[in-house]
Amino acid sequence: MITDCRGLELTVTGADAARHLDDALDDYMRFGLDAGNHLKQALGADPDFVMAAILRGYFFKMFAVPALERKAAESVERVRELIGARGATERERGHAAALAAWVEGDLVATTRHWETVLRDHPRDLLALKLAHFTHFYLGDDKELRDSIGRVLPDWDEAVPGYSTVLGMRAFGLEEAGEYGQAEAQGRKAVELGPQDPWAIHAVTHVMEMQDRRRDGIDWVTGLEPHWTDCNNFRFHIWWHRCLMHLELEDYDSVLDLYDREVRAESTEEYLDITNATSMLWRLEERGVDVGARWGELAERSEDRIDDHLLIFADAHFYLALAAAGSADAAARMLSSMSEVPGGDHVTAASVARHVGLPLCRAIGSWYAGDYGAVVDTLAPVRGALSDLGGSHAQRDLFHQILMSSAVRAGRFDTARDLLTDRTVSKPNNAWTWKRLAEALGGLGDEAGAADARAKAAALLAA
């Protein structure tokens, strides 16, 4: 039996095909540009290669583009044909079941299949990475951390991909709030594999959550040669650097980096659009004129108003439409979102109903200037925002919308409570202290407001 580079058995006719699959996985893990080419080579060497056919289906799903859903479904049928004709290992059958569940839209079942594979095959890096992805978009911070922790004893530096596993572990620890361990694991991952953008990104998240802005800029900039040649994920790392400058109120640098790097290309990729829309909102809320930049994002987002594969992405598409004043398109998107097909087992349908629609309506109210309606609509689902998936840093956009709306609506009691809670989790965040000062001033607590303003000024001067 032919195996991959980690000793996992493959149903394949030759070692060349297996080697090309290893290359495809390695490139995918490092956010490279050649994973698709390596996969084509694997299928060229063995057109009936079961795991290569499964990976092809996975790649179609990873794009989260409706136009590729049919190809993903066709991949499911192709894999079934191959298994029927050639057979497959138990591990490969587990992957086939995961792909089928993913095509059905059930991320919970999909993830369960990968976790079952990992129970018996803890060195299955593909199952580990994809479970990491779905735990992330299910908003399950505990499993994002523990999924990696369960298999870590079976990995060491002699196993190819070890640094990638450490990088995932670092990110899971960070999202679970264990910042010290997260940074240590992330730095070790970068030391072993500096070309891994996910590990670099994990440490950046730690610095973001701890408001270590200057450390974050130095970290990202110092490692720039190792991540700027990766795929579109590089735009997300630039977004993180923009966040650092933003919180230092260095708005000129933010706009410059936005134009040169974050939105260097007018892409329709969902992560690229989430980067851009969330940054422009933050800038505008702080009083920065972003010019005509919303128009390009709205044009791209209008093409995706019926997507509903990741409601997290939908919320950012809607944000672009609302910000640009594309009222008709925004209304069509709300209508479409209210009709996402599927029961509660279809993850997107469930999330759209209980979180996505209220969030988008709140965003619409923000741009209508009805800040009280934002609070009334968004506050009741505040605790469920994690169901959208994404990171704490990404979802913070929606919390900022709520807090800023409470201040603007004169709901100072609500604003004070939300912002005081935020000073506990992010005590070194100048934006938080400034907004708290506004809330306290609105309540007549001038001494408290002065203290909050002084805290913000000291943080910005540090």
Which residue type is seen at 189? Answer: A
The radius of gyration of the chain from alpha carbons, rounded to an integer in Å, stands at: 23
CA dihedral of residues 371, 372, 374, 378 (deg, nearest 10): 150
Q: Is 65 exposed, middle or buried (0-12, 13-18, 19+ CB in 10 A)?
A: middle
Say what the pLDDT of residue 399 is.
98
Which distant-in-sequence residues (6+ apart) come within 8 Å of 55 by Cβ? Answer: 21, 24, 25, 39, 126
For residue 342, the model assigns a pLDDT of 86
Q: Looking at residue 68, what DSSP letter applies?
A: G
Q: Which two tokens stand for residue 94?
A: 């587990």
Q: Can you point out the beta strands (E) in 62-168? A: none
pLDDT for 344: 79
Supply the pTM of this predicted model. Answer: 0.96
Tell me which residue of 135, 51, 137, 127 sits closest to 311, measured CA to CA: 137
Write the burial class of residue 124 (CB in 10 Å: 0-12 exposed, 13-18 middle, 19+ buried).
Answer: buried
The number of C-alpha atoms within 13 Å of 119 and in the hemisphere containing its C-beta is 8
Mean pLDDT, the chain, integer:
97
Residue ranges, the chain, pLDDT below 50: none
Instruction: Give how far Cα 66 sits from Cα of 70, 88, 345, Å.
Output: 8, 29, 19
Task: Please report, for the chain, how many H helices and E strands are present, in that order.
Answer: 26, 2
Spatial distance between the Cα atoms of 401 and 371, rounded to a whole number of angstroms: 9
pLDDT at residue 1, rounded to an integer:
83
What is the three-class DSSP state of 356?
helix
Closest CA to 293 of 305, 283, 304, 307: 283
SS3 3: strand
